[in-house]
Amino acid sequence: MGPVLVLDEPLSFWGGVDPETGDVVDVRHPQRGANVVGRILVMPSGRGSSSSSSVLAEAIRAGTAPAAIVLGEADPILALGAIVARELYGKVTPVVVATDPSLRTGRVAKITATRETARIEA
């Protein structure tokens, strides 16, 4: 559960998020300067670097990750970061594919996910 942050463009975690602070640091991103810690991060898709798995896993380890990630299109690279963080640290961060117009920045949402389905309450 957490406050929703909707990104207008895809974000690469590597080069786009500082895993020490959770800040969006991609200088060309419209939400540069926003912070993803504890947010329900909603974005159209992943982007760019294949190192994003590591950066997401590191952010989950360090406690600077979003509470959940909701993607318009599946992104195995982000899913993998969450799977490895669960294997190593037992911390669960849902990465789900869904479009739900009630997910708007500032609202509080709750995501409950299993391997097959996700339930969004916003």
Catalytic residues: 49
Strand ranges of the sheet holding 68-71, from the earlier edge strand across to the other edge = 95-97, 68-71, 40-43, 2-6, 108-113, 118-121
Complex with another protein: residue 62 or 108, whichever CB lies closer? 62
Closest CA to 3 of 110, 88, 89: 110
Q: How far is the CB of 29 from another protein (least distance, A)?
A: 9
74 contributes a contact to another protein by CB under 8 A: yes
Closest CA to 8 of 34, 22, 122: 34
CB 13 within 8 A of CB 47: no
Window 20 to 49, contacts with another protein (CB under 8 A): 25-28, 45-49
Q: How far is the CB of 75 from another protein (least distance, A)?
A: 8
Binding-site ranges for another protein (CB under 8 A): 10, 12, 14-16, 19, 25-28, 45-55, 57-58, 60-62, 73-77, 79-81, 83-85, 87-89, 115
